[in-house]
Structure formats: structure tokens, C-alpha cells
A = this chain, B = another copy of it.
Amino acid sequence: MTATMTDQPAQAQDAGGPAGEGPGVAASLEAVLLVADEPVPESVLAEVVQRPAADVIAVLRELADSYTRERRGFDLREVAGGWRLYTRAECAGVVQRFVSDGQEVRLTQAALETLAVVAYRQPVSRARVSAVRGVNCDGVMRTLVLRGLVEEAGTDQETGATLFRTTGYFLERLGLSGLSDLPELTPFLPEADDMTDGGRGNGQ
């Protein structure tokens, strides 16, 4: 129970391990991730295991790599600004057979396009999105909000229009760790586009 100042297993104090020796950082991280029900930021993990963030990141990456190397059924991934345990993609068939409940409903083309515009233009009003798509998007936007992929983000100071942005769940669904992971839009735009305003906007 005594906290030694050695840099060995730093988190040994309260772990109550049998042989008086606490779990290693890797084991501690595994345990924490096992009870987490959303992506856990590195800073939180670092605080919980009481190690510098850099160490924690290194261990997380090594864990993730080892799971892949060992072809385990789980997978440690960095998404939506944090780390979270997932089942491995190759096991999808088995897991689906087991859960069988709510498979995600596929988004319509309209919803996907609206989501794309919101992702790159956020915060953005419905009217702006409609202008880009050339078609009204009110119903689609409501669906995206209900699905938790998009949320309200205040109102436009000039027009008073409600603004929308993507959510953390959106990042998770796409397996992105942050908005900066979105592919650049420019390669898709042959010319220095965009009459309406400054492109990507405040994507972050």
C-alpha cells in the first residue's frame, strides 16, 4: 500500500493487487477503457493513471498495435477526441448475429449530402445548406438532429437563423478523431471555388 517513489508501477498505491504489486499502466488503461461508455480523452486517462500524457499515448498506441498484431476480437481506436474499445471489423458478422438489435439505419443520399455540407461549413444555417444543394433541407436536417449526428449551435447574429454543427457521435460514426481528419474539400473542387464564402470555414 505504500507509495514508493520509484518509477516502476507508479499507480500501485490504491490498486489493492494481491502480491502488493499494482497493475501496470497498460493494464490500468485497459481496465478503465473497459468501463468507459464513450471515447476517453488522453488527458483524462493520464490523470486517472497518474502518468504524463506522452507516456499514456505511447502505451495506448502499443496496446492498439498489439491487439491488431495478435488479431484479437477487440480493437482500441482513437475517435472523436478520445480512445475507445471496439470490436474488430472482421468480427462484424459474429457480433451482428449476437446483438441482432438496432442495426444502424442507412442514411439517405439527401441526408449524407446535408451532413457533408454541415461538416465542412459548420456552424451553418439551413438556408446555406439548401443553397449549396439546390434543394430544401429542413426535413433532412431534422432527421440528422434526431439521429444525433448534428446539433444546434446557436443562432446567426445577423439573420437570427439557427446554426448547426456536427456532433461527437458524428465523428464516432465516421471513425474520425476530430474534424481536422476530414479530407480536404479542395481536391474535389477543381477551381479556387466558392463564390459564397471562404470555403472550409472554421472546420475545427
A residues apposed to B, CB below 8 Å: 1-6, 9-18, 22-24, 26-37, 40, 44, 47-49, 61, 70-74, 77-79, 85-99, 101-102, 110, 133-136, 138, 143, 146-148, 174-178, 181-183
Classify the secondary structure of A's interface with B.
Answer: mixed
B93→A14 contact, CB < 8 A: yes
Tell me the bound Cα distance from A162 to B201 in angstroms: 35
* Given A18-B89, A28-B91, A31-B73, 14 more pairs with CB closer than 8 A: A1-B78, A3-B176, A4-B183, A9-B89, A11-B94, A15-B71, A15-B92, A23-B94, A34-B87, A35-B95, A40-B98, A48-B97, A48-B101, A134-B146
Assuming the A-B contacts A94-B48, A147-B135, A177-B3, are A26 and B73 also in contact, with contact meaning beta carbons closer than 8 angstroms in the complex? Answer: yes
Tell me the bound Cα distance from A121 to B8 in angstroms: 26
Q: Which residue from chain B places its CB closest to the CB of A176 in the assembled complex?
A: B3
Assuming the A-B contacts A23-B88, A88-B23, A176-B3, are A94 and B32 also in contact, with contact meaning beta carbons closer than 8 angstroms in the complex? Answer: yes
Chain B residues near A79 (CB, 8 Å)?
3
Chain B residues near A96 (CB, 8 Å)?
14
Q: Which residue from chain B places its CB closest to the CB of A73 in the assembled complex?
A: B30
Tell me the bound Cα distance from A28 to B88 in angstroms: 9
Assuming the A-B contacts A3-B176, A95-B31, are A23 and B78 also in contact, with contact meaning beta carbons closer than 8 angstroms in the complex? Answer: no
